[in-house]
């Protein structure tokens, strides 16, 4: 990320309209949808300018794997290995030990059933809250490849809620926006307090009318002297409470931004720009302002309380602002773009953290199944000796290895400097999807009716285990966003000429003829890809022999997906965006192939034992069947059962440090 503070795109005049506007207009969309979708698209393009070209989406591993004609295998390895020092590991150990001790003593939660203030205070001594804050401001200065294993460990051996609090505070809370987009004065003012845990933080984006549709934001901030006056309502804001600090997303007009005077000067020097400058000064865009919440309700601020099933052990509130004043110096201005640039930056990190937390929570679920499987008997035999349960145990171990692999890989990409938009979506969806299935299928069905008892791991936390499928972006919406990001460059090249035909209709022969070069471009590219798709399927050096076939299958799948996407573009043309279920299906197969490739490379690293390799094999067998639509073979089931027996025998070391949950109401 560049460090200068020259907001070039705010001093200039952003383009009005673009390819996406033309496509939507030709597709018969309403004026409102064209304006809002086009605005998001242009914001995304501007956000890309914050990154070196080699780290942008079109040069990301996933994009290259689909479109380049050759899979860049090395980019799916951990390219920035962990560099954890002995001191850092000691701090990690201390933080997990503190939470584990409170859990064992029954003091983890306070009288309000939230993580107690005592726990929060005790963690301050380890520097836990400053894991992602630079050392110059009193933090650990951990890279993501070092911090994400801490979240996994905390979820498995300490407490998943405490792990989640760190990811909110450090990734999507105020820490990341200030670290990467704050002025020097804001960093000096806030980061030491955020690092020490003196203040915890959150990020206030969601509103009653704005979730995934960020163009629907209604909270406004109007400049008045040295302050911004905020009016609006935020909801579902985790880690929000009296006295805490949040990154607040508000709509701010151009005339209230620090670059307004530069825009006026442009109009003065070039009268022909006066009308456009006037529009730009009146146009409201999302911006982020660092906001200190008052110690109690006031005439200008109210904390809105409500009951909520998920994330019930941390504070989650609505925030209502009425003429609430925030110092103007607290406005964050990125080098390029607006508040969405800042929001997406933190959300990408939050999505990896969600995957890391899921990997830890799945360890907890797997560990809870083992003593119950050995205790519970049916018809004179332990259920842990039956194939049905061993099959579940083995498959869940595969989920965990995949979760570790994807978390480590995406962390290393962001540490290297990649934007990682596509890759972080994969991390989020994988973690959420596997955690949901691990909960509702593997653990829930194994524990049976005891899952409904108060005090049971599943019964008490099932909403928390389900929440990741919704939070940080609902999975299907993210799948569509994934495909849009993946095809955007090629859409601009091949769909744009069609969209510029006046009154274009997708099946009008005259219009299709006028756009023949675009259509022929897609057709010839598709034919070329057909000849290339099996050219990149050689064995990969360094991959375990038992996993080579999965790597080859993943590479073939990515080649085939290039063809499928091209055919979809050719068939649906500018209407592709209306076929949402088809977009999701195209996205899923790309994701799953990437999950296979990353997991195989992870399990083939030096030092990985045969059980980890088998777990990777089990996961890849499942993903292969999902991609091909085939039923499991007998060999697939045998592999799962074999792994289940090894896990039951204590050979799956990934769960060694995971804490045990109690068997409730034993009947023996």
298 shares its domain with 268: yes
pLDDT tens, position by position, 627-665 = 999 999 999 999 999 999 999 999 999 999 999 988 888
Give the per-residue SS3 of 609-644.
CHHHHHHHHHHHHHHHHHHHCCCCCHHHHHHHHHHH
Please say which residue of 282, 308, 333 terminates a domain: 333
Residue 445 placed within a domain: yes
Q: Report the pLDDT value the prediction gives residue 259, as an integer from 0 to 100.
A: 83
Please say which residue of 283, 313, 333 terminates a domain: 333
370 shares its domain with 415: yes
Which CATH number characterizes residue 614's domain?
1.20.140.10
**Confidence class of residue 65 from pLDDT cuts 50, 70 and 90?**
very high
Asked whether residue 506 carries a pLDDT value surpassing 60, the answer given is no
Asked whether residue 415 carries a pLDDT value surpassing 80, the answer given is yes
313 shares its domain with 347: no
162 shares its domain with 268: no
Neighbouring-strand partners of residue 382: 377
Which CATH number characterizes residue 158's domain?
1.10.540.10
Nearest to 228 by CA among 236, 219, 241, 237: 219
> In the chain, what is the straight-line distance between the N-terminal and C-terminal CA atoms, in Å?
61
Please say which residue of 299, 333, 367 terminates a domain: 333
319 shares its domain with 358: no
473 shares its domain with 563: yes
231 shares its domain with 354: no
Residue 456 placed within a domain: yes
**Confidence class of residue 396 from pLDDT cuts 50, 70 and 90?**
very high
| 243 DSSP assignment | T
Residue 13 and residue 277 in contact, taking contact as beta carbons nearer than 8 Å: yes
Asked whether residue 471 carries a pLDDT value surpassing 70, the answer given is yes
- Torsions phi, psi of 465, nearest 5? -70, -25
Residue 572 placed within a domain: yes
pLDDT tens, position by position, 117-173 = 999 999 999 999 999 999 999 999 999 999 999 999 999 999 999 999 999 999 999
Asked whether residue 413 carries a pLDDT value surpassing 90, the answer given is yes
428 shares its domain with 382: yes
Residue 564 and residue 571 in contact, taking contact as beta carbons nearer than 8 Å: no
379 shares its domain with 501: yes
Q: Report the pLDDT value the prediction gives residue 637, as an integer from 0 to 100.
A: 98
Low-confidence winner among 12-21, 279-288, 381-390, 434-443 (lowest mean pLDDT): 12-21
- Beta 331-332 vs 284-292: how paired, if at all? antiparallel
**Confidence class of residue 346 from pLDDT cuts 50, 70 and 90?**
very high
- High-pLDDT (> 70) share of the chain, %: 85
Low-confidence winner among 283-287, 487-491, 641-645 (lowest mean pLDDT): 487-491
Q: Report the pLDDT value the prediction gives residue 10, as an integer from 0 to 100.
A: 45
598 shares its domain with 529: yes
pLDDT tens, position by position, 553-609 = 999 999 888 888 877 877 776 677 788 899 999 999 999 999 999 999 999 997 889
Q: Report the pLDDT value the prediction gives residue 486, as an integer from 0 to 100.
A: 92
Q: Report the pLDDT value the prediction gives residue 242, as an integer from 0 to 100.
A: 97
Residue 143 and residue 83 in contact, taking contact as beta carbons nearer than 8 Å: yes
Asked whether residue 668 carries a pLDDT value surpassing 70, the answer given is no
Residue 196 placed within a domain: no
Asked whether residue 3 carries a pLDDT value surpassing 50, the answer given is no
Host domain of residue 605: 46-77+339-668
pLDDT tens, position by position, 228-245 = 999 999 999 999 999 999
For the chain, what is the domain count? Answer: 3
Residue 166 placed within a domain: yes
| CA pair distance 121, 112, nearest whole angstrom | 17
Q: Report the pLDDT value the prediction gives residue 7, as an integer from 0 to 100.
A: 37
Confirm whether pTM is higher than 0.85: yes
131 shares its domain with 212: no
374 shares its domain with 461: yes
Q: Report the pLDDT value the prediction gives residue 460, as an integer from 0 to 100.
A: 94
């Amino acid at each position: 990320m560049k460090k200068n503070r020259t907001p070039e795109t705010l001093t200039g005049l952003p383009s009005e309209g673009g390819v996406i506007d033309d496509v939507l207009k030709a597709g018969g969309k309403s004026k409102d949808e064209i304006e809002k979708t086009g605005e998001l698209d242009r914001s995304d393009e501007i956000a890309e300018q914050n990154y070196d070209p080699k780290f942008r989406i079109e040069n990301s591993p996933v994009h290259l794997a689909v479109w380049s004609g050759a899979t860049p295998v090395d980019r799916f390895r951990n390219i920035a290995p962990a560099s954890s020092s002995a001191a850092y590991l000691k701090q990690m150990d201390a933080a997990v030990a503190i939470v584990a001790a409170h859990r064992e003593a029954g003091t983890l939660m306070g009288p309000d059933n939230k993580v107690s203030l005592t726990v929060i205070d005790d963690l301050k001594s380890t520097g836990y809250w400053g894991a992602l804050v630079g050392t110059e401001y009193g933090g650990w200065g951990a890279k993501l490849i070092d911090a994400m294993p801490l979240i996994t460990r905390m979820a498995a051996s300490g407490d998943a809620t405490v792990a989640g609090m760190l990811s909110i505070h450090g990734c999507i809370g105020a820490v990341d926006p200030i670290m990467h987009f704050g002025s020097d004065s804001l960093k000096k003012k806030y980061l030491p307090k955020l690092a020490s845990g003196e203040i915890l933080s959150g990020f206030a984006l969601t509103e009653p009318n704005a979730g995934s549709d960020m163009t629907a934001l209604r909270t406004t901030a109007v400049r008045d002297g040295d302050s911004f006056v905020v009016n609006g309502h935020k909801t579902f804001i985790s880690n929000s409470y009296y006295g805490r600090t949040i990154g607040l997303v508000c709509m701010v007009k151009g005339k209230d931004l620090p670059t307004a005077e530069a825009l006026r000067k442009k109009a003065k020097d070039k009268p022909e720009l006066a009308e456009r400058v006037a529009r730009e000064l009146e146009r409201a865009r999302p911006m982020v302002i660092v906001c200190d919440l008052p110690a109690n309700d006031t005439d200008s601020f109210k904390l809105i309380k409500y009951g909520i099933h998920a994330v019930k052990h941390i504070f989650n509130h609505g925030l209502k602002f009425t003429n609430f004043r925030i110092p103007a110096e607290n406005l964050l201005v990125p080098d390029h773009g607006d508040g969405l640039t800042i929001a997406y930056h933190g959300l990408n990190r939050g999505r990896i953290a969600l995957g890391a937390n899921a990997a830890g929570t799945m360890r907890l679920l797997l560990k809870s199944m083992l003593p119950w499987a050995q205790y519970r008997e049916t018809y004179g035999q332990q259920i842990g000796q039956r194939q049905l349960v061993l099959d579940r145990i083995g498959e869940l171990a595969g989920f965990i290895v995949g979760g570790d692999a994807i978390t480590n890989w995406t962390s290393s990409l962001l540490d290297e400097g990649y934007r990682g938009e596509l890759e972080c979506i994969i991390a989020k969806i994988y973690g959420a999807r596997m955690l949901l299935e691990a909960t509702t299928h593997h653990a829930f069905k194994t524990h049976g009716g005891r899952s409904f008892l108060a005090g049971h791991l599943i019964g008490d936390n099932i909403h928390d285990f389900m929440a990741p499928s919704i939070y940080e972006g609902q999975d299907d919406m993210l799948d569509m966003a994934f495909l849009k990001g993946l095809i955007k460059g090629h859409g601009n090249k091949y769909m744009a000429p069609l969209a510029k035909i006046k009154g274009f209709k997708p099946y009008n022969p005259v219009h299709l003829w006028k756009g023949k070069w675009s259509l022929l471009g897609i057709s010839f590219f598709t034919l070329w890809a057909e000849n290339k798709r099996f050219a990149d399927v050689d064995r990969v050096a360094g991959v375990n022999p038992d996993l080579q076939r999965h790597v080859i299958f993943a590479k073939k799948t990515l080649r085939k997906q290039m063809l499928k996407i091209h055919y979809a573009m050719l068939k649906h043309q500018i209407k592709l965006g209306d076929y949402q279920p088809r977009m999701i299906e195209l996205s899923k197969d790309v994701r799953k192939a990437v999950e296979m490739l990353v997991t195989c490379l992870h399990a083939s690293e030096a030092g990985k034992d045969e059980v980890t390799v088998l777990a990777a094999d089990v996961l890849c067998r499942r993903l292969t069947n999902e991609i091909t639509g085939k039923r499991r073979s007998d060999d697939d089931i045998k592999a799962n059962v074999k792994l289940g027996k090894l896990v039951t025998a204590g050979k799956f070391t990934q769960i060694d440090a995971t804490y045990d949950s109690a068997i409730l109401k034993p009947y023996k």
